[in-house]
Amino acid sequence: MKRLYQKSEISFALVWIGLYVVVMNIALQFCGGFDDLADKTVPQMLIPVICILILAIASTVWILRNGLTEKFGLCKFKGNAQTFLWFLPLVIMSCINLKNGLTLSASLVVSALMAINLAVGGYVEELIFRGFLFRAMAKDNLRSAIIVSAVTFGAGHIVNVFNTSDIFGVLLQVGYAIVIGFLYTVIVYKGGSLWPCIASHIFVNGSSVFARDEGPFTQLVAAVFGQATPSITEACSAALIIIISGGYALWLWKKTK
């Protein structure tokens, strides 16, 4: 990996993206994807958890051994918390899965394993997209680096069509993930650290396992639109994410040095 990195940082990043997508989709296919969590067994869930932990450990150890923690953002946040509005918009966006409250739709162990799989996946995605890919491109063209990092991160979620029957939900996910990717990239560029994005990404992914389908947010959607079908509710949730993430990203881009 070191030889590939020295030869071409972009190729290095693309190899990691491909490795992550292929390995995790094969692992998720083995456990039956994201649907019907209550029907999954502990042995099924262990496969994706083990795979994502191996990728997380391998990527982190490689960064540490090569002294690249500063370059790839595994370092202290360098921005001004007040200028970043104390990350309150990021916190609000990260709590989107709490909008209807929390529930346990499967056994505690199975739910915990899925949450670990998704949470660690968020950590790995930050290393790959905001670390490897963004830094590889930023030294030549910052604007292109930000756009490509955000778009590839969002578009990469299209592979989830193979792991769920909710195709509409995946398409919405691609859309708002691009905006979230833009926000995360701006935070990394302006603050020099991945940790705020890692914390947000881990919480968003992990809490999704325990999110309720119906609750206060659903009732609000029904009051506004006269009904709250799953599609309408998902669209409203996606719109909320886009508004908060996009607005915060633009604020940071204009206000921070």
C-alpha distances (whole Å) from 101 to each of 192, 216, 223 are: 33, 8, 18
Res 35: pLDDT: 87
pLDDT in tens, 198-257: 999 999 999 999 999 999 999 999 999 999 999 999 999 999 999 999 999 999 998 876
Residue 125: pLDDT over 70: yes
Task: Specify the amino acid at residue 177.
Answer: A
Mean pLDDT to the nearest integer, 34-59: 94
Task: Give residue 84's identity as a one-letter amino acid code.
Answer: F
Contact between 45 and 31 under an 8 Å Cβ cutoff? The reply is yes
Higher pLDDT, 256 or 33: 33
Token couple for 187: 């935070």
Cα separation, 46 vs 49, in Å, equals 5
How many angstroms from the chain centroid is the CA of residue 170? 13
- Residue 152: closest CA among 17, 29, 7: 17
**How many residues are recorded in the chain?**
257
Summarised one tens digit per residue, pLDDT across range 156-200 is 889 888 888 889 999 999 999 999 999 999 999 999 999 999 999
Cα separation, 82 vs 79, in Å, equals 9
Per residue in 90-116, pLDDT tens? 999 999 999 999 999 999 999 999 999
Of all residues in the chain, what percent carry a pLDDT higher than 90? 88
Q: Look at residue 139 in the predicted model and tell me its pLDDT.
A: 87
- C-alpha 131/C-alpha 71 separation (Å) is 8
Confidence of residue 59 (pLDDT cuts 50, 70, 90): very high
Identify the pLDDT of residue 257. 60
